[in-house]
Structure 1
Amino acid sequence: MSRFEDAAFGEGHDHIFLGAAHEENERRTWMVIALCSAMMVAEIVGGSLFGSLALVADGLHMSTHAGAMLIAALAYTYARRHATDTRFVFGTGKLGDLAGFTSAIVLAMIALLIGYEAVSRFFAPVPIRFGEAIPIAVVGLLVNLASVWLLSGDHHGHSHGHDHAHAHAEEAQRIFGNAGVFAVSIFEDDVPPVFRIKPETASSKLHADAVSITTIRPDGTRQTFAFADRGGYLESKEDIPEPHAFQAVVRLPDGEHRIEFEEHEHDHDDAHAAASRDHNIRSAYIHVMADAAVSVLAIIGLLLARAFGWLWMDPLAGVIGALVIANWSWGLMRDTGGTLLDMSPDRRMAENVRHVIEDNGDTVLDLHVWRVGPGHLSAVVSVVTRDAQRSPSFYHAALRRFKGLSHVTVEVNPTHATA
């Protein structure tokens, strides 16, 4: 008879899967709304008092800008206030992705409108009042730059956990032996670091049982690591304690090879960064960046049109701006849509979960890993084991090492139950 158990780790214990900077990003978004709203009121009132239609028009444009920010701000507020609402089975962490997807559609519509207007002006040019248009574009750019500065602190949404990769291909130590050429590296992908040995020549082959690494630290401490075959490379079964500065004695079938490892700065891993990214603040950031880009293009087009009489430069700048916004919109729509459809953002996490379980002699029947919020992944695992004493709690303990895995459901099937 199968047994299953549901568990949440760390911050996700109560199914609260909000991003690490949720409240800070919420405050930043409301600040941008206040800035845009103040600018909107100033432009509409000023334009009405001084009879400037261009100023009123830009004020109305700023109102759409504030409205787009409002989507992000309300999503943050609602997600925070309903984070413990049991009606949301996996919390409200994905509400930001829904808001981001909505913003992406709004951006796409804005790109279409700008493109349509720009193309229309190619065939039917309109007089441009440069004395008003250029200063307004400059003021709009300054407001957008201030908004970019307010939102730029965490628009990528990196988590502040231990989520970095030590070794890339160029940092690997290479061993040239009778069995071929091998790259030895320290790998860490949201898990405690491990050794990896990868053959670099077609004839290079190793059996895991015939390989080991012994680390010798400056204080004389030694530790020996056994290896498992991962299909294409070998990986140590034991974790490597910090710091990663030591001499490593690599034992291969042809003898021992000594290499040195030094501690390096850590770089964020792209896959984990994608899983941790806050798409709501990203959508707000893209909105202000798009507006800033359009302002820059507009200023350039207006200056060239006034200096050389090239009235076509203004609509050309509009077409370029529309294409840039459309490209950003598509990227945001693709990423947020993937999250809403439970597309796995980090395939390595699924691979690591599988390895941890199968290293214990069990078999993974089914495995699903998906994102439930910025920096939070959930997993459902079905395991077949020959050890009748292994309960779901055993696997929860083994998987607790994955810092980005906030929620795990495990089903255990003894072998006799599957026969």
Structure 2
Amino acid sequence: MTNFEDSAFGAGHDHIFLGAAHEDNERRTWMVIALCSAMMVAEIVGGSLFGSLALVADGLHMSTHAGAMLIAALAYTYARKHATDNRFVFGTGKLGDLAGFTSAIVLAMIALLIAYEAISRFLSPVPIHFNQAIPIAVLGLLVNLASVWLLSGNHHGHSHGHSHGHGHGHGHEDEQGHESEVHRISDRSGKFVLSVFEDGVPPVFRITPETASATLSASAVSVTTIRPDGMRQTFAFADRGGYLESKDDIPEPHAFRAIVRLPGGEHQIEFEEHEHDRDDAQASMHRDHNIRSAYIHVIADAAISVLAIIGLLLARAFGWVWMDPLAGVIGALVIANWSWGLMRDTGRILLDMNPDKRMAENVRHVIEDNGDTVLDLHVWRVGPGHMSAIVSVATGHDQRTPGFYRAALKRFKGLSHVTVEVNPTRVVA
């Protein structure tokens, strides 16, 4: 007999999976479009009045820049206005990733055009009007720097992320590169590392052997915390394959004395509360690829302007006419690299690749620690900072409904939509 129930966290079971800074990023993107459009009109009109072909050409270039920004802005606006449209089964949170993928293709085409033009100039050099070209390049750089400033208010280094660990003098990175607070313990049964691990999940204790001969059984290990007010809490452990992890979360704050019971005896360790260090650039689950694509566009344009200014100055000072096309080739390679990174990251999301394997592992552990079996599990991203999961569970506990498992999974930040299928392992008479 199979019992199936579909539900999500949150009252009303809505499917609004937009990023936390969605409206602010939308507003900033439209501001950049207004700036680029004003500069485009000024350059085209000014170039036409004063007979400057270079100024008109830069104005037309600025129009392509505004067009690229328009992709991001329209994606933000459409996603917001249709966030509650039930035709979108999992909301409109991934529309920004689609816009980012489109922008990545546009960037790749721009890189190819720049490379083609640069190679053409290597083969057939053209005279350069330095007195016009250099001021226009400087003007373009100033516009791009203003655009970067407008977009960077919520962007923080090309991504929105959210992961935290403790950055202390005794900090340590685990096998996946995630920082955690650690203490080393020498016991008669071997050497171990005790850590407070909290990268993207609620904080838990982890005990990892440091030597090949050091082995532990989860049933023979426990940690008891004693807080300044005398409150005690004992943590049991589960075997995660290569390390032991506490079954319960560690409540804040993390200032306490810990009594660690190992087969070789008891050990007392002091844990101090440290300020959390949030590194937004490292959590792909929270990245807003739409604002990232807009940011890359203006950064790429700024980089091209810088390279152009350097190439033009050297060409004018030393007669190195080849420096101008060389700067173009370098710029094309830089843009192509950024384009590939954006295309790769957004493509993975559009194909529903799991961006956080640890989230899936932790969901599995929470359910199986309760004595049940996970038959099928799918975890994927439905928007910046929002993950969805479909879980099929086999259980011998008749009283466990999908609500029981949803309550257990509420501990995970960012797990915004959960569907649970419960399969009893014995038929109820």
The TM-score with structure 1 as length reference comes to: 0.96
Question: Which of the residues 260, 271, 275 maps onto 1:261?
Answer: 271
- Give the Å deviation of 1:295: 0.4
Give the counterpart letter for 2:107 in structure 1: L
Alignment correspondent of 1:377: 387
Alignment correspondent of 2:135: 135
1:170-319 aligned within 5 A? 171-268=181-278, 273-319=283-329
Distance 1:16 1:144, change over 3 A: same
Alignment correspondent of 2:151: 151
Alignment correspondent of 2:107: 107
- Give the Å deviation of 1:157: 4.4
> Is contact 1:30–1:73 with CA below 8 Å preserved after alignment?
yes
Partner Cα separation in structure 1 for residue 119 and residue 28 of structure 2: 36
SS at match of 1:367: strand
- Give the Å deviation of 1:269: 6.2
> Root-mean-square deviation (CA), in Å?
1.7
**Runs (4+) off by over 4 Å:** 269-272
Residues 167-193 of structure 1, C-alpha deviations (whole Å, 9 max, x = no match): 643741000111111111111133321
Alignment correspondent of 1:322: 332
1:85-96 aligned within 5 A? 85-96=85-96
SS at match of 2:352: coil
Give the counterpart letter for 2:192 in structure 1: F
Partner Cα separation in structure 1 for residue 23 and residue 62 of structure 2: 25
> Is contact 2:226–2:233 with CA below 8 Å preserved after alignment?
yes
- Give the Å deviation of 1:5: 2.1
> Is contact 2:255–2:271 with CA below 8 Å preserved after alignment?
yes
Residue 406 (1) aligns with residue 413 (2): no
Alignment correspondent of 2:176: none
Alignment correspondent of 1:72: 72
1:354-393 aligned within 5 A? 354-393=364-403
Partner Cα separation in structure 2 for residue 401 and residue 136 of structure 1: 54
> Is contact 1:134–1:299 with CA below 8 Å preserved after alignment?
yes
- Give the Å deviation of 1:58: 0.3
After superposing the two structures, state which structure 1 stretch, 190-199 or 150-159, moved more. 150-159
SS at match of 1:416: coil
Give the counterpart letter for 1:294 in structure 2: I
Partner Cα separation in structure 2 for residue 243 and residue 350 of structure 1: 26
Partner Cα separation in structure 1 for residue 12 and residue 114 of structure 2: 43
Partner Cα separation in structure 2 for residue 9 and residue 277 of structure 1: 21
Alignment correspondent of 2:45: 45
Alignment correspondent of 1:118: 118
> Is contact 1:6–1:409 with CA below 8 Å preserved after alignment?
yes
> Is contact 1:2–1:413 with CA below 8 Å preserved after alignment?
yes
> Is contact 1:12–1:406 with CA below 8 Å preserved after alignment?
no
- Give the Å deviation of 1:241: 0.9
Residues 138-178 of structure 1, C-alpha deviations (whole Å, 9 max, x = no match): 01001000101111122244367xx5234643741000111
Give the counterpart letter for 1:341 in structure 2: L
Distance 1:60 1:73, change over 3 A: same
Q: Which runs of 5+ in 2 are unaligned?
A: 174-178
- Give the Å deviation of 1:8: 2.3
After superposing the two structures, state which structure 1 stretch, 168-177 or 21-30, moved more. 168-177
> Is contact 1:157–1:374 with CA below 8 Å preserved after alignment?
no
Partner Cα separation in structure 2 for residue 53 and residue 186 of structure 1: 63
- Give the Å deviation of 1:121: 0.4
Residue 32 (1) aligns with residue 32 (2): yes
Partner Cα separation in structure 2 for residue 98 and residue 325 of structure 1: 19
Residues 175-218 of structure 1, C-alpha deviations (whole Å, 9 max, x = no match): 01111111111111333211000111111100011101111112
Give the counterpart letter for 1:48 in structure 2: S
After superposing the two structures, state which structure 1 stretch, 329-338 or 384-393, moved more. 384-393
> Is contact 1:28–1:151 with CA below 8 Å preserved after alignment?
yes
- Give the Å deviation of 1:9: 2.1
- Give the Å deviation of 1:362: 0.3
- Give the Å deviation of 1:10: 4.1
> Is contact 1:76–1:96 with CA below 8 Å preserved after alignment?
yes
Instruction: Give the number of equivalent residue pairs.
Output: 416
Partner Cα separation in structure 1 for residue 300 and residue 203 of structure 2: 40
Alignment correspondent of 2:346: 336
The TM-score with structure 2 as length reference comes to: 0.94
Partner Cα separation in structure 1 for residue 388 and residue 394 of structure 2: 20
- Give the Å deviation of 1:55: 0.4
Partner Cα separation in structure 2 for residue 284 and residue 135 of structure 1: 25
